[in-house]
Homo-oligomer: A and B are copies of this chain.
Amino acid sequence: MSYARQMLDSYQSTLGVDAALLAAAIDAISDCVQACIADTDADLSEQDVTEMVRCIRLCLDCADICAATGGVISRTAGYDAQVARPLLLACVAICKSCGDECERHAHMYEHCRVCAEACRRCEQACRELADAMK
């Protein structure tokens, strides 16, 4: 069981959404931050860096937005849909773009294939959470 899930189970909070769904989103976000930071570095190590510029920029945006989203949805007691929903939508949008771009390089670079997978899972988990918050 992830730390996110253990933490959610450990205290009373006015959660309003299913704990399993929320923990899955926090975990997927955390993985996506890891993958995007590492993929940026891997892209910078390739010979044709120029080809990877768009991928690097998207990974940087994705890591920043995911980290902020993870923080906000982890503070379960103060959910405000007016904040959390557009943030989750931004997260879904950047994970989609970043995942698409990484997938374009997936046949050449294993690191982009792995990062694309992390982005897809994160996109899906954030979309489900955003839907549940409606």
Contact = CB atoms under 8 A, between A and B. Distances in A.
Contacts of A50: 49-50
This chain's copy number in the assembly: 4
Given A44-B57, A114-B7, A37 B82 contact: no
Given A57-B78, A60-B71, A90 B97 contact: no
**A interface, how many residues as a size bin?**
35 or more
A1 to B, nearest CB: 10
Interface of A: 2-4, 6-13, 26, 30-31, 33-35, 37-42, 44-46, 49-50, 53-54, 56-58, 60-61, 64-65, 67-72, 74-78, 80, 82-84, 86-87, 89-90, 93-94, 97, 109-111, 113-115, 118
